[in-house]
Amino acid sequence: MSRRDRTWGYWTEQKLGMLAEYLPAFTTASQRARTTLYLDLFAGDVANTSRVTGQEIDGSPRVALNATPPLSVVRLFELPGQAERLEAQLRAEYPGRDLRVYAGDCNQTIDQALADLTQYNWAPTFALVDQYAAEIRWDTLAKLAAFKRLGKPKAELWLLFAASMLPRGLGGDDLDAIAAFADRITEMYGTRDWREAYEARVRGLLSGRGLRDELANLMRWRIENDLGYRVTHAFEMKNTRGMPLYSMIFATDHDAGNKIMRHIYGRAAERQPQMRAEAVARIQADREAREGTLVLFDPLVPQVKPMDLYVHVPPNEPYRLPKG
């Protein structure tokens, strides 16, 4: 693994910060239910190193287990090897907590995990789907959505959706790899409809920005219209140059979840330019220390623009290629 793989950019800190804000609000709002479930389908590690500060940051498993009031039942999913290490470490750190790590591809272990949790199919449930690009399958999202007993609000979903990674994975000369990646995208969406916007981009009918927006829109549209969620929100994470990296898509049936995440997205939008500016300043200070030079002017320092603030817009009808 390269240093870059093991270190996180400021956007990861921002994402984990949003999770750390949401979960206590979720458990507080669910206090009458007395039991809450947290599912983390791509759990990762207990901690990692910030690329900005060089310090350790808690990974999502610790963020979840540190939430107060506490989540009652914590179920994590990781690939074999890392899963066992993670479970051993968390059991040592959090004795007495009801936690378990399922080892294997979460798209396969999800059936057993949800079967094991049937007794809780009435309890408020939050599922983090923190994939890299297109590892989650639509049928897994559908199983999460179908987990709760009829009449209960569905499990809330918080999905990392990396719209800019998708066209990137479809580039290059390796046709087999491109075909395999296209199949994975289709499995993630549960439909080939994403190809309409992609084809429009290839033909020059959509800009790069337009394609990313349509890809994220289609995912939200499907979550609302196919899985039946009442509302979705999307918050776009940006790198230090202000380029979009991925969106965090939130889906809920619950008024409280909708209100709380809308508020958190609004605050995150307000803070994003400042966090970016701090990350840029630290990168610049590192460079100066390394190279022994003083950079007097850095055009990368972003400006705070009111248009960066979060506004909820419902998804539109998915893009269709013009006929003919």
Phi-psi region of 212 (alpha: psi -120 to 50; beta: other; left: phi over 0): alpha
Tell whether residue 213 is a contact of ligand SAM (CB under 6 A).
no
Interface residue with ligand SAM among 24, 29, 35, 44 (CB under 6 A) is: 44
In the shown chain, the binding pattern of residues 139 to 168 toward ligand SAM, with x for contact by CB under 6 A and - for none, equals: ------------------------------
CB 319 within 8 A of CB 200: yes
**Side chain identity at 163, as an amino acid letter?**
A
The type of residue at 148 is: K
Q: If binding is defined by CB under 6 A, does position 42 make contact with ligand SAM?
A: yes
Helix 175-189 crosses helix 208-225 at what angle (to 10 degrees)? 40
Among 59, 257, 302, 318, binds ligand SAM (CB under 6 A): 59
Window 80-99: residues binding ligand SAM (CB under 6 A): 82
The one among 130, 156, 213, 214 contacting ligand SAM by CB under 6 A: 130
Q: Identify the CA nearest to 161 among candidates 210, 128, 197.
A: 128
| β-bridge pairing 231-238 and 244-252 | antiparallel
Nearer to ligand SAM, 211 or 251 (CB): 251
Helix axes 208-225, 194-202, angle to 10 degrees: 170
How many other CB atoms are there within 10 angstroms of residue 147's CB atom? 21
Write the interaction track for ligand SAM spanning residues 243-272; mark x where CB under 6 A is met and - where it is not.
------------------------------
Complex with ligand SAM: residue 65 or 280, whichever CB lies closer: 65
| Cα end-to-end distance, the chain, whole Å | 48
Site for ligand SAM (CB under 6 A): which residue of 11, 26, 38, 77?
A: 77
- Nearest approach in angstroms of CB 190 to ligand SAM is 16
Tokens of 279: 């990350």
21 lines the binding site for ligand SAM (CB under 6 A): no
Which stretches of the chain bind ligand SAM, using CB under 6 A?
16, 42-44, 59-60, 77-79, 82, 105-106, 130, 132, 135
